[in-house]
């Protein structure tokens, strides 16, 4: 426990600092003073002297977006943590089993049929769930000595197929109206987040997150080889389904809201592991706090550096790639 307390505290401090920065920075000038006045006015019910537009920025624009960034970052980080443990591989990210590709296909289909925002998000969400379910069913139908390997391979293959589907829809799309919308969606952004997005994002993320937290002890055993886990009396099959389902739920919900954002689910679990070690009981909350803080910083950059948004997928990759290279160089020492 001696090691976990500072680790968790560091992660919490990162998130708090990120929250303060994110809430006070933005294209529309709302400083810390205005922010406090607006919050005070809301809690006490007294009117404040802050202009209505600034109040709207806090409650309708910046506030929901900050919360969404934290939720999406946390969701991707815990899903990545769960998958890296489950597949006993440090280079695994939450989209391994096709959740992102499925969501991408769902979203571009939604755009192709000119659906509304919520329908597009619903398409993306269920696209992710259906893709992973298909991967799992196909993967477990194949009888093999190494079920994990078969599952990963199936995920890669189905992911490629879904990628081809995305390509086909983009090819068939109207190049003037639909294609740019699809491209922007696939690059990931929280620019369009509104207060109404928060419930459909929060509910699945909270539900999936709670399942993973509840399974934290068993996941420790699951990261052992199958034979050893079974020797300890753990039914690996049902547990694996539960972890995959929970991780897929949170991944699909976050991708549906924010589009494709790579790297968070890959990089953050490693930072969390260096902070608190491999015990899932400590790893999952730390990863959630760090992931939330990390994506919040990235999203704050994306919306403040210029009048034009920088897509999140691009920013996370620019920051994630050097880390990934460093990780590859050091991977043989820390794993296996």
Residue 52 sits in the site that holds another protein (CB under 8 A):
yes
160 near another protein, rule: CB under 8 A? no
Which member of 199, 307, 332, 336 binds another protein (CB under 8 A)? 307
The minimum distance between CB 25 and another protein, in angstroms, equals 10
**Residue 223: CB partners within 8 Å, gap ≥ 6?**
85, 86, 88, 278
Q: Does 179 bind another protein (CB under 8 A)?
A: yes
Q: What is the DSSP string of 206-244?
A: HHHHHHHHHTHHHHHHHTS-HHHHHHTT--HHHHHHHHH
Q: Could you tell me how many residues of this chain bind another protein (CB under 8 A)?
A: 35
Answer yes or no whether residue 305 interacts with another protein by CB under 8 A.
no
State the DSSP code for 311.
Answer: P
Work out the burial of residue 56: count CB atoms within 10 Å of its CB; fewer than 13 is exposed, 13-18 middle, 19 or more buried. Answer: middle
Stretch that binds another protein, among 99-107, 124-132, 213-221, 305-313 (CB under 8 A): 305-313
Q: What angle do CA 193, 197, 203 make, to 5 degrees?
A: 140
Toward another protein, which CB reaches closer, 18 or 61? 61
**CA-wise closest residue to 72 among 318, 297, 303, 308:** 297
Radius of gyration of the chain (CA): 20
Query: Segment contacting another protein (CB under 8 A): 145-153, 154-162, 184-192, 205-213?
Result: 184-192
Contact between 261 and another protein per CB under 8 A: no
- Residue 177, interface with another protein (CB under 8 A)? yes
Residue 21 or 133 having the CB closest to another protein: 21
Q: Give 170 or 218: the residue with its C-beta nearer to another protein.
A: 170
Closest CB to another protein among residues 27, 42: 27
- Would you count residue 316 as binding another protein (CB under 8 A)? no
Using the rule CB under 8 A, which residue among 159, 251, 303, 315 binds another protein?
A: 303
223 binding another protein? (CB under 8 A): no
CB 201 within 8 A of CB 254: yes
Burial grade of 93 (CB within 10 A; 0-12, 13-18, 19 or more): buried
Residue among 118 and 207 whose Cβ is closer to another protein: 118
- Cβ 261 vs Cβ 72: under 8 Å: yes
Rounded distance, CA 66 to CA 71, Å?
9
Q: Does 171 bind another protein (CB under 8 A)?
A: yes
Residue 180 interacts with another protein (CB under 8 A): yes or no: yes
Q: Does 191 bind another protein (CB under 8 A)?
A: yes
Q: Give the shortest CB-293-to-another protein separation in angstroms.
A: 20
């Amino acid at each position: 426990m001696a090691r976990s307390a500072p680790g968790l505290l560091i992660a919490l401090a990162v998130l708090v600092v990120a929250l303060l920065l994110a809430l006070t920075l933005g294209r529309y000038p709302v400083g810390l003073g205005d922010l406090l006045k607006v919050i005070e006015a809301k809690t006490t019910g007294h009117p404040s002297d802050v202009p209505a537009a600034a109040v709207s920025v806090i409650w309708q624009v910046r506030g929901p977006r900050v919360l969404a960034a934290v939720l999406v970052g946390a969701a991707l980080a815990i899903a990545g943590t769960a998958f890296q443990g489950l597949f006993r591989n440090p280079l695994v990210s939450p989209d391994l089993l096709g959740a992102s590709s499925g969501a991408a296909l769902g979203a571009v289909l939604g755009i192709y049929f000119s659906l509304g925002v919520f329908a597009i998000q619903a398409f993306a969400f269920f696209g992710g769930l259906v893709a992973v379910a298909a991967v799992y069913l196909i993967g477990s139908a194949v009888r093999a000595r190494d079920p994990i390997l078969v599952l990963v391979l199936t995920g890669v293959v189905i992911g490629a197929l879904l990628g081809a589907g995305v390509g086909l829809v983009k090819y068939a799309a109207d190049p003037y109206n639909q294609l740019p919308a699809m491209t922007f969606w696939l690059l990931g952004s929280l620019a369009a987040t509104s207060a109404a997005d928060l419930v459909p994002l929060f509910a699945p993320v909270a539900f999936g997150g709670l399942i993973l937290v509840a399974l934290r002890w068993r996941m420790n055993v699951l990261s052992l080889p199958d034979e050893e886990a079974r020797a300890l009396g753990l039914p690996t099959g049902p547990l694996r389904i539960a972890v995959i389902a929970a991780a897929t739920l949170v991944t699909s919900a976050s991708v549906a809201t924010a589009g494709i954002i790579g790297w968070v689910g890959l990089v953050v679990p490693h930072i969390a592991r260096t902070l608190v070690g491999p015990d899932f009981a400590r790893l999952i909350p730390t990863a959630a706090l760090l992931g939330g803080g990390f994506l919040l910083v990235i999203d704050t950059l994306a919306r403040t550096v210029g009048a034009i948004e920088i897509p999140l997928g691009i920013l996370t990759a620019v920051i994630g790639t050097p880390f990934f290279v460093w990780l590859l160089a050091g991977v043989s020492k820390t794993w296996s």
